[in-house]
A = this chain, B = another copy of it.
């Protein structure tokens, strides 16, 4: 049998065995530890081998996948995985990933994938509808939030630089600088580093007690930069910070950006899909004034990792930043909509068919069910905040922001270093495997931090989390 050109019955056999495995995986998620501690050395001992010349049977590979790879993975879909900002994925999008890989369309442009390109346009329109972003805006799917922020900042750089910065480089454009709150995501300064602007030219603006950007401090920084001969070009608003879920006041920042002719980019990688919840809608009242928005369907739209999105209010700004013509990319015999190329609007040329899963999930489940799941996540985080406040041995370190909570264990009468204690509790909790939190620094305090982003998570899981934190403390002593 030729393992590259498999007969249909063999494809069926492989596929069904894999479907059994994923059905069993989803079915046993709740019972698994979130994580089984191991070491890189132990894993390399299980996986290392020189390039295999001969193939092996699929069943053995599935077994390795289950017994090594799945076993020693941190389960994003576990109901008490609260680390970072991580989507569980869904069964229907797992199946969708197989369909997309079989079609294997390289969604570089309309010519390369006619239906895939139009389907991506349709899903981008849905993203705009969810946010309340203008219908004439453009956008595309990228691999994640970091690349979305990068693409948006590239568009900002071109739009606000003197001269043609893509052609001539940044050196000719003067000393450009950007602004984001100290709670902003590191991908903003990383993008500035990659774009040749320099990480040091992203100003870290202080925040207020709600961890939102301090407008007075922002004004002062901009005036200092202008006086020093810098060229302020971009202001980034956080629509849900990574550490605490804080939401900057977009309307005020839009007004500020207009006054100073800054590009306003909204980093809504985490918080964007909170707009599905009617109660959160007011936070997005001024989103249409943003020049660009980053949002991550692979976060709060529950898609598997690999699907970020950038929206540009004026698509021509992205075109100025990214378009490039070459003989082999010229669209021959096509014009207008059929000559559309995604590479004119983002950093990639080859692009997987990311829109298929997005379309499939929304069409199969419906936006109403997704909105309900978002509301349930918000409720679970709020409920955990209440549990902490009523606890007597824990304290909230920041207001619950969207579905993120930051707290610490602070037993009555404890006189030691609470930062060190909570760091030890975190490690103990993670290794115990029942719940998983990550960490954040909040006003200089080490916080246990969680984000509810899983439609499987219930109020009961929040209660178990608190018990798990207490157990981790007891196990330390």
Contacts and interface: CB of A to CB of B under 8 A. Distances in A.
A47 interface: yes
Contact of A327 (B362, B366, B441): B441
A48 B135 CA distance: 14
A82 to B, nearest CB: 13
Contact of A43 (B10, B52, B65, B115): B115
B22 A98 contact: yes
A210 interface: no
Nearest to A44: B118
A39 interface: yes
Nearest to A455: B4
A285 interface: no
Nearest to A362: B52
A253 to B, nearest CB: 22
Contact of A352 (B61, B145, B305, B438): B305
B193 A194 contact: no
A193 to B, nearest CB: 4
B18 A16 contact: no
Contacts of A198: 165-172
B11 A23 contact: yes
A22 B201 contact: no
A16 B91 CA distance: 13
Size category of the binding interface on chain A: 35 or more
Interface stretch (A67-75, A211-219, A254-262, A466-474): A67-75
Interface in A21-49: 21-27, 38-41, 43-44, 47-49
Contacts of A464: none
B196 A53 contact: no
Contacts of A50: 125-126, 129
B12 A20 contact: yes
B122 A187 contact: no
Contact of A41 (B27, B53, B77, B337): B337
B147 A348 contact: yes
Interface string A68-100: 111111101100000010111111111111111
A227 interface: no
Contacts of A423: 332-333
Given A18-B95, A19-B11, A166-B193, A143 B58 contact: no
Contacts of A88: 104
Interface string A428-451: 001000000011110000000100
A5 B332 contact: no
Given A119-B47, A328-B439, A193 B167 contact: yes
A357 B101 CA distance: 10
Given A52-B367, A55-B369, A47 B122 contact: yes
Nearest to A173: B171
Q: Which of A100, A330, A441 has the most CB of B within 10 A?
A: A100
A154 interface: yes
A362 B56 CA distance: 9
Given A3-B364, A51-B362, A364-B3, A352 B306 contact: yes
Given A58-B92, A193-B167, A196-B169, A104 B146 contact: no
B305 A84 contact: no
A232 interface: no
B115 A71 contact: yes
Contacts of A438: 328
A106 B147 contact: no
A117 to B, nearest CB: 8
Contacts of A72: 114-115
A38 B114 contact: yes
A298 interface: yes
Interface string A322-336: 101011111011001
B196 A170 contact: yes
A246 interface: no
A286 interface: no
The 7 closest A-B pairs by CB, nearest first: A196-B196, A169-B198, A15-B19, A144-B350, A40-B337, A170-B196, A306-B352
26 contacts: A6-B92, A11-B23, A11-B26, A15-B18, A15-B23, A40-B338, A44-B122, A49-B122, A50-B126, A51-B126, A61-B364, A69-B116, A74-B105, A74-B112, A94-B99, A94-B102, A97-B98, A107-B305, A143-B352, A168-B201, A169-B198, A170-B196, A189-B324, A304-B352, A328-B439, A333-B423
